[in-house]
């Protein structure tokens, strides 16, 4: 699990800082994580995830929040219990 999280964080931070999705794609392929077909949805999903991952530095999380908003998405995820309401 440590490798999974460490690689995820590195790929996500790289994407947020560079807009290069190659490390995210490689990570998803390696770990069998399905990705949306829409590039815009994929970008927003990564940004939203980064905002919620506390092991990622705050400056990167802030950058992800700004980029998510720029795409037109809400960067905050609803708690799981509230999703069905």
The ranges assigned to domains in the chain are 2-82
CB atoms within 10 A of CB 58: 8
58: tokens are 């705050």
User: What distances in angstroms separate CA 4 from CA 12, 48, 66, 74, one per listed residue?
Assistant: 12, 18, 26, 26
Please, what is the Cα angle at 4 between 42 and 18, to 5 degrees?
Answer: 45
Asked if residues 58 and 21 have their Cβ atoms less than 8 Å apart, the reply is: no
What single DSSP character describes residue 22? H
Whether the pLDDT of residue 23 is over 60: the answer is yes
Whether the pLDDT of residue 56 is over 90: the answer is yes
User: What distances in angstroms separate CA 72 from CA 11, 25, 36, 49, one per listed residue?
Assistant: 23, 22, 17, 16
Mean pLDDT of 37-62: 96
Q: Read off the pTM.
A: 0.87
pLDDT given for residue 78 in this prediction = 78
């Amino acid at each position: 699990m440590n490798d999974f999280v460490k690689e995820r964080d590195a790929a996500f931070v790289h994407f947020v800082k560079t807009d290069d999705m190659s490390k995210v794609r490689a990570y998803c392929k390696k770990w069998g994580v399905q990705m949306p077909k829409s590039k815009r949805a994929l970008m927003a999903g990564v940004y939203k995830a980064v905002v919620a991952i506390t092991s990622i530095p705050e400056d990167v999380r802030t950058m992800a929040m700004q980029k998510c908003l720029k795409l037109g998405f809400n960067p905050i995820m609803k708690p799981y219990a509230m999703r069905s309401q």
